[in-house]
Chain A
């Protein structure tokens, strides 16, 4: 075997050996999301010698990423995460294949891309993507290593890995329906300690390595919760829902994973429409990002962070309003909240500032 010296320290482990190393080299792992969770997952799997790794993310590097996404550096701000991760990981290990998918996962691309891999790692940061990935893995019967964080706490689980049970457990056994927008705060609103996704991402990488090599016990059908502040773990055995219809490809393709499904009567406008509307003198642009978020912009008329919106509704003037945020998710929710309470013409910038600066 080539590269024996590189992998020597893990190959001499009891129960590992050449056989486990060859299983890693033959494995194909897709990492969806190259952020706080995805960076450590990627680095450890590349280091361990997983033969083929796909990396999928449409996001670009920003300054507020760097406290937890240690793969990236200041000079890379504004560049695509997938492209920079690819360059660095080839430097770490030139003996493996890395496939780049520098765009977000969606219903159109999910099944085709996932079907090229043996295992999927969910390292995304939003419910729409998590449900979409879960369902795509159910359709294709692909094992899924799930991870998520919030503030000082994280969750890890392995789904969709059938052993002797009739039906493999998936994320919908835990939470059958996605929470409504705004019910659970995102990282931007809630915050996250930098080291936490490092720990949870490394645990996801460990689950993937155990799954591939057959070493130890995989968190199959179990949800492991880690509390960083208390330095405590808590494991829960997941119970499957009794009568559940497994999602098929047809249902997957017609499910609406976007948040629009829960929001009525609030139009989303694209960047061209936004630029046209801005020419009107009575048009008002409201930024609902938190104060610490970048990039700073000079074309908003006011900034009311999402976390303060409910209490500051009266500050919004009687004008036609477009709400903006980072990716157009919070702004859509904010637009709905405002249109409930105020009789104004409200829209949300689709894709947010990410689309605007594209």
Chain B
């Protein structure tokens, strides 16, 4: 099972990537846990998660081919 994670804004500075592929991740909670282990700075950074362009407010199962987006807030004007 492969899925793609897209990083936006300041999250790219933390991960050093704009996108990344993952395999065998059951749901968004496990994904976040994995990401926070790989990139500890994500623990103290705000972002919301969208799966296939739909924002989620609670844990969601992930399927092969899903695209997960991590979006931080922007404040500039």
Taking Cβ atoms with an 8 Å cutoff, the residues of A that contact B are 33, 35-38, 123-127, 130, 147-151, 153-155, 174-175, 179, 183-187, 190, 192, 197, 223, 225, 227, 230, 234-242
Q: Digit string of B1-17 for contact with A (CB within 8 Å is 1, else 0)?
A: 00000101110000000
- How many A-B contacts if CB must be within 8 Å? 93
In the complex, the answer to whether A150 meets B46 with C-beta atoms within 8 Å is: no
Q: Which residues of B are found within 8 Å of A230, using beta-carbon distances?
A: 18
Q: Which residues of B are found within 8 Å of A197, using beta-carbon distances?
A: 76-77
Tell me if B54 counts as interface (CB < 8 A to partner A): yes
Chain B interface residue count, Cβ-Cβ cutoff 8 angstroms: 23
Tell me if B32 counts as interface (CB < 8 A to partner A): no
In the complex, the answer to whether A237 meets B57 with C-beta atoms within 8 Å is: no
Dominant SS at the B interface? loop
In the complex, the answer to whether B73 meets A175 with C-beta atoms within 8 Å is: yes
Q: Which residues of B are found within 8 Å of A184, using beta-carbon distances?
A: 10, 46, 72-75
Tell me if B45 counts as interface (CB < 8 A to partner A): yes
In the complex, the answer to whether A38 meets B77 with C-beta atoms within 8 Å is: yes
Tell me if B62 counts as interface (CB < 8 A to partner A): no
In the complex, the answer to whether B69 meets A236 with C-beta atoms within 8 Å is: yes
In the complex, the answer to whether A36 meets B75 with C-beta atoms within 8 Å is: no
Q: Digit string of B44-77 for contact with A (CB within 8 Å is 1, else 0)?
A: 1110101001111100000000000101111111
Q: Which residues of B are found within 8 Å of A190, using beta-carbon distances?
A: 10, 76
Q: Which residues of A are found within 8 Å of B56, using beta-carbon distances?
A: 239
Partner of B57, one of A123, A147, A235, A239: A239
Smallest Cβ-Cβ distance to A130: which chain B residue: B75
In the complex, the answer to whether B54 meets A239 with C-beta atoms within 8 Å is: yes
A153-B69 contact in complex given A126-B75, A236-B50, C-beta closer than 8 Å: no
Q: Once the chains are docked, how many angstroms separate the CA of A33 from the CA of B76? A: 11
